[in-house]
Chains A and B, each alone.
Chain A
Amino acid sequence: MRHQAEALAAKLPPLMVAADQVAATVAQGVHGRRRIGTGDSFWQFRPFVTGDAAARIDWRQSAKSDRAYVRDMEWEAAQTVCLWRDASPSMAWRSGRSLPEKRQRAELLLLALTSLLARAGEQIRLLGVDGRVFCGRSALDGVARALPGHGDGLPGRAVGVPRHASVVLIGDFLSPLAELRACVSRLAAVPASGHLVMVLDPAEVALPYDGRVRFRGLEGEAEAIVPRVEGVRQAYGAALVAQQAGLAAMCAAAGFGLIVHHTDHRPETALMALWTALDAGRAR
């Protein structure tokens, strides 16, 4: 157990570095609130008006002139973002050596998002990990350490999700729509808003096999022998589209967003879309 943990931990730093890099490219395009509020960073000095607490007077600035000045900080509303990624066996799959596994990509996205959120001063929770809140500079490290033991199966209970928190679920969402709907509706009932990131391997999209193939599932499903794969390719595509459409409808009903990401695309694209969507949600 400990060995596994160490092995996983040893694998993490490169993942964290990659996540930081991905986050950095996205962060360049994102800016702060530009509003007065509570926060750590300086925003402006303004003249003291009646009603301001005397403690807020910046004495150094006020001493330069006859008037008293108050130091305003930028508004930084710390929000809690709950993150989850699917760690089921079906995520540990890739169709070719040049592609990452879906789970790897999901964790990369999760950690990159963590990095971004930590920079923005948000509080981060992992769904299913009890009560721990990550924030600040150590958030990335803490999330990376907590990841290996987290997230097997859809989050059953919306435990520990604060009200009005944002939820980001990353997975392949190929399970039956009913299960997914139950999960999403539980979260929406908290109430919480959020986003689903559907990570798919290109082979799951295109079904690039020919001839007589015996398909085996990764989670103990029954085997399926397809006599001519090229014959069912179209039907499979339709089924996938139906799954995605069902997901989209479900998300729209619950006020969630849906982002579809393929592992052969660049992770920055998905992260940017996710970040923008999150930003819009927070700004609201």
Chain B
Amino acid sequence: MIFATPWVLTALVALPLLWWLLRATPPAPRAQDFPAIRLLAGLQPAEETPARTPWWLLALRMAAAALVIVGLARPVLTSGQMAVAGGGAALLAVDDGWSSGPDFAARLAAAGAVLDRLERAGRPVSLLTTAPGLDGGVAPATAPMPAGELRPVLAALQPKSWPTDRGRAASRVMGHGPVFYVSDGLATGRDAPFVRALAARGRVTEFSGGLPARLLRTASAPEQLLAKLRQIPSAVARTEFVLAETNDGRVLSRTPMLSPAGAAEAEAVVALPPELRNQLGALRLSGAPGAGSVALLDEAARRRPVGLVGGGTGADTPLLGDLFYLDRALAPTTELRRGDVASLLKRQLSMLVVTAGTLPAGEAVAVGDWVKHGGLLLRFAGPGLAAGEDADPLLPGRLLPGDRQLGGAMSWSQPAHLAPFPDGSPFAGLRIPAEVSVNRQVLADPSDPTPQTWARLTDGTPLVTAARVGSGEVVLFHVTANADWSNLPLSGLFVDMLGRLARRSAGVAVVDDGRMLAPALSLDGSGVLGTPPPAARPVSARDLADTMPSPLHPPGLYGPERDRHALNLGSAAIPLTAMASVPGADLLPLDAAPRERPLGPWAVALAVALLCVDMVLTLGLRGLLARWRPGVAALLIAACVAGGARAESPALATHLAYVVTGDAQVDATSRAGLAGLSDYVNGRTAAVLADPAGVVPGRDDLSYYPLLYYPVTSDAQATPAMVSALNGYMHDGGIVVIDLRGGGSEAAGSGAGMAPDTGAALRRIGQGLAIPRLAPLTSAHVLARAFYLLQDFPGRFDGDTVWVQQDQDRSNDSVSPVIVGSNDWAAAWAEDEDGRPLYATIPGGARQRTLAFRFGVNLVMYALTGNYKGDQVHVPAILERLGQ
């Protein structure tokens, strides 16, 4: 601690005088009415002590006086070792490239601390930033100015989303004097002149440290999305989270990623159901805002649109039709479109699947053009193709007429199996199940050299052939897409093969490589998408992958809205190596010099507080506080009551309850969800619900709670005590809402796959539970009418069936003791302190959340009032009877 105006401290010399003065003047005596005063008159006390101010009051006043003096001397709390050496104007150089983004606030704080010291020393300072500005050039250093005036300039500094350019910054270093350099620690190719220029200017103090530079990028793996991280190896292992965000900012998943100490790379699998994966807009490293921590996903990472041309009647027939198999194989990973060729080709398409034998001539021309421009045409053999006489131009090669039968009653041969896929094949590496066999196929003409063979049978005959046509490809499966000719479509191999083909069809659009893509949205230095900076220029589609981010080409999204291309820092070839420090510099960590803190105002405020205490004490000594005693007592009692509020018995108010699973996140969601629902119910109904309670069945008494929300986790285990408690609860009229949180669902649009294995967990738990026979919840059930009239019952997910007791049990007021669903209701109800929802709804929309809340209100009403609203179900019948 130092004093800005130390001469004021000389006033401390006067304190002893003050002490003597205060001591000499005793406090005023307290006044007291007394009738027998005549007897008191003239009495001499047994011992005589001079009336003096009590020593503690004296000490209090002296402390207050000393604090005032010290406060006026303007003490400043400063720590850390930083010296301002040498003469001349100081230079403050700050790296503001992309790698400074995650902890830019700490860098600004370090720079601010430098300004504090320079201001106190009264030294002029100029500011130099090393990254090119928004207009594309490295700005010159500001003119030397008092540190206080530079502070707003520093506060307005933003990190940039492109690398620094120290080579050009070196030419901006002027003059002589001390240098303070806040470095981001990332080496670039042109550091040497900059370092030389700094060292030549004067004594260098370098701040380094902070978060190491890190770059996030995506990589596609066969079935999942990989988040890969490159970083300057750091000495500490850290676990971070990769957030998968949609374009509108909803976070769909949160995946932990561990980077061990000293590792240069880390990766994590972002496990999302294929349905949801397609909605993603970016992967983001949580807790480290910065352009390098965001990997934007563009159309290339999306699911491919696949057109399905179904020929013939019965193609959709379950288990028999071609389309039935193709639909199931392609739907999980692609966006399927059905229709005729003309309408399908009007929109962008990456793969066209044709099952009918031959294409009509008119369509064949359109399809042929499309393939030449980069489309992938997938065809399947069939009786029609086998019977075709003419050479179909949209086949990989010539076919031998007729087909070949393997096995069967009239043949000696056995059904053929698949040979391992050749290396050049897109299917290479797929595991071939032993039971896949082929009974019948069309044969390629062996004399035609055009087609590549991607899969063949053990006897060498091709099963899948392909040929390039223009910039597109034509692929032929020599069997049908249904199970007539082979059992390949029944196997998982078929799904995998089609998935590989779908990903091979990269050309979402017909790519014209020379096109210029205009910048649409750009990342700023904090990793937020916004309008591009003024210097941003279009880039050609061909060069986009090799473009180094710069003010001209900031990372972000380029191209028209339907055809966005991402330019990510992570995919650019930026070397990540630690930068060597400036030779001869004083090295300090970023937090070495905390901001200086003036203590003067605090000292004076404390003195005023002490004088207030002194006043109260003086009043007390004079007996003037007595009349306020009841008020003071009341205040104290109120404070005690407020402070001593204890947990009240759950029987005193209505609480919703949830089962504590032990998974912290699930429990927090349950609590937040039930709290949100309680608020909603309190706001809209006459029910008054208190805070929700977390209970452990078998440990806590469940009989206080009308409703028990039970989120099932995949590792849930049922102890006998828990099972008996739950059974007793259900038997005595309680309602258990079992939520599989998306795990048990298989319906489209639901959260299938969000919480795997909870279905199995429920089966495990449910063995001991006395769950009655269940039936799907319909809109005729009381639960759908208890408060709102509901048609469906969404939570965070939608579309899955909700199950309730099938038979009405009159003894239990016809109330179903158990409600089973997998819509993850608590997540839909969960809100943060400000009333904002915590989880995005899927498929999404405010309407779905409203309906989720309404279902919650109905649940509460159902739990509180039983079948009270049951007669509404009979209203039509009653009206009819009244009418008669």
Contacts of B621 in A (CB 8 A): 211
> Looking at the complex, which one of A176, A203, A217, A227 makes contact with B37 (CB distance below 8 Å)?
A217
- Whether A212 sits at the interface, judged by CB under 8 Å, is yes
Binds B, one of A57-65, A184-192, A233-241: A233-241
From residue B62, how far is it (CB to closest CB) to chain A in Å? 22
Contacts of B27 in A (CB 8 A): 212
Q: How far is the CA of A94 from the CA of B823 in the complex (A)?
A: 76
Q: How far is the CA of A219 from the CA of B34 in the complex (A)?
A: 10
- Contacts A212-B26, A213-B29 given: A174-B45 contact, CB under 8 Å? no
B40 lies within 8 A of A215 (CB): yes
B36 lies within 8 A of A174 (CB): yes
- Whether B43 sits at the interface, judged by CB under 8 Å, is yes
B39 lies within 8 A of A214 (CB): no
- Contacts A209-B32, A225-B29, A227-B48 given: A216-B37 contact, CB under 8 Å? yes
Contacts of B45 in A (CB 8 A): 226-228, 231-232, 235
> Looking at the complex, which one of B26, B35, B48, B49 makes contact with A93 (CB distance below 8 Å)?
B35
B35 lies within 8 A of A235 (CB): no
Q: For residue B26, which residue of chain A has the nearest CB? A: A212
Q: How far is the CA of A234 from the CA of B396 in the complex (A)?
A: 127
Q: How far is the CA of A204 from the CA of B31 in the complex (A)?
A: 16
B47 lies within 8 A of A221 (CB): no
From residue A217, how far is it (CB to closest CB) to chain B in Å? 4
> Looking at the complex, which one of B26, B35, B43, B51 makes contact with A204 (CB distance below 8 Å)?
B35
How many contacting A-B pairs (Cβ < 8 A)? 97
Contacts of B409 in A (CB 8 A): none
- Whether B236 sits at the interface, judged by CB under 8 Å, is no
> Looking at the complex, which one of B26, B29, B30, B35 makes contact with A172 (CB distance below 8 Å)?
B35
- Whether B44 sits at the interface, judged by CB under 8 Å, is yes
Interface residue tally of chain B, by bracket?
A: 20 to 34
Q: How far is the CA of A183 from the CA of B45 in the complex (A)?
A: 33
A239 lies within 8 A of B39 (CB): yes
- Whether A243 sits at the interface, judged by CB under 8 Å, is yes
Interface residue tally of chain A, by bracket?
A: 35 or more
Contacts of A214 in B (CB 8 A): 29-32
Contacts of A204 in B (CB 8 A): 34-36
B32 lies within 8 A of A224 (CB): no
The A-contacting residues of B in range 1-37, CB under 8 angstroms, are 26-27, 29-37
B37 lies within 8 A of A215 (CB): yes
> Looking at the complex, which one of A91, A211, A216 makes contact with B34 (CB distance below 8 Å)?
A216
A174 lies within 8 A of B40 (CB): no
Encoded as 1 (CB less than 8 Å from any A CB) or 0, chain B from 707 to 745 comes to 000000000000000000000000000000000000000
From residue B46, how far is it (CB to closest CB) to chain A in Å? 5
Contacts of A213 in B (CB 8 A): 29-32
Instruction: Name which of B27, B30, B40, B46 has the most chain A CB atoms within 10 A of its CB.
Output: B40
Chain B contact residues, majority secondary structure:
loop
Contacts of A201 in B (CB 8 A): 35
Q: How far is the CA of A227 from the CA of B51 in the complex (A)?
A: 7
- Whether A90 sits at the interface, judged by CB under 8 Å, is yes
- Contacts A212-B29, A240-B39 given: A217-B46 contact, CB under 8 Å? no
B38 lies within 8 A of A217 (CB): yes
Q: How far is the CA of A224 from the CA of B32 in the complex (A)?
A: 10
A93 lies within 8 A of B33 (CB): yes
Contacts of B686 in A (CB 8 A): none
Instruction: Name which of B27, B46, B50 has the most chain A CB atoms within 10 A of its CB.
Output: B46
- Whether A218 sits at the interface, judged by CB under 8 Å, is yes
Q: How far is the CA of A217 from the CA of B40 in the complex (A)?
A: 10
- Whether B664 sits at the interface, judged by CB under 8 Å, is no
Contacts of A102 in B (CB 8 A): 35
Q: For residue A234, which residue of chain B has the nearest CB? A: B46
Contacts of A232 in B (CB 8 A): 40, 43-46
- Contacts A232-B44, A232-B45 given: A243-B39 contact, CB under 8 Å? yes
Q: How far is the CA of A149 from the CA of B50 in the complex (A)?
A: 48
Q: For residue B37, which residue of chain A has the nearest CB? A: A217
Q: How far is the CA of A226 from the CA of B32 in the complex (A)?
A: 11
Instruction: Name which of B26, B35, B36, B46 has the most chain A CB atoms within 10 A of its CB.
Output: B35
The A-contacting residues of B in range 39-82, CB under 8 angstroms, are 39-41, 43-51
Contacts of B36 in A (CB 8 A): 172, 174, 204, 236, 240
From residue A202, how far is it (CB to closest CB) to chain B in Å? 12
A224 lies within 8 A of B37 (CB): yes
From residue B27, how far is it (CB to closest CB) to chain A in Å? 8
> Looking at the complex, which one of A217, A221, A225, A235 makes contact with B44 (CB distance below 8 Å)?
A235
Q: For residue A203, which residue of chain B has the nearest CB? A: B34
Q: How far is the CA of A214 from the CA of B41 in the complex (A)?
A: 12
Contacts of B34 in A (CB 8 A): 203-204, 215-218
- Contacts A212-B30, A214-B30, A236-B43 given: A228-B37 contact, CB under 8 Å? no
B33 lies within 8 A of A218 (CB): yes
Encoded as 1 (CB less than 8 Å from any A CB) or 0, chain B from 94 to 126 comes to 000000000000000000000000000000000
Q: How far is the CA of A240 from the CA of B50 in the complex (A)?
A: 27
> Looking at the complex, which one of A172, A203, A236 makes contact with B40 (CB distance below 8 Å)?
A236
Contacts of B37 in A (CB 8 A): 215-217, 221, 224
The A-contacting residues of B in range 604-645, CB under 8 angstroms, are 621
From residue A139, how far is it (CB to closest CB) to chain B in Å? 31
Q: For residue A235, which residue of chain B has the nearest CB? A: B43
**Can you list 25 A-B pairs with a CB-CB distance of less than 8 A?**
A90-B35, A172-B35, A174-B35, A174-B36, A201-B35, A204-B34, A204-B35, A211-B30, A211-B621, A212-B30, A213-B32, A214-B29, A216-B33, A217-B37, A219-B35, A224-B37, A226-B40, A231-B46, A234-B46, A235-B43, A236-B39, A239-B40, A239-B43, A240-B36, A240-B39
Besides A232-B40, A239-B40, 5 more A-B contacts (Cβ < 8 Å) are A203-B34, A211-B30, A222-B41, A228-B49, A235-B44
- 5 tightest A-B contacts by CB? A231-B45, A90-B35, A217-B37, A212-B29, A239-B39
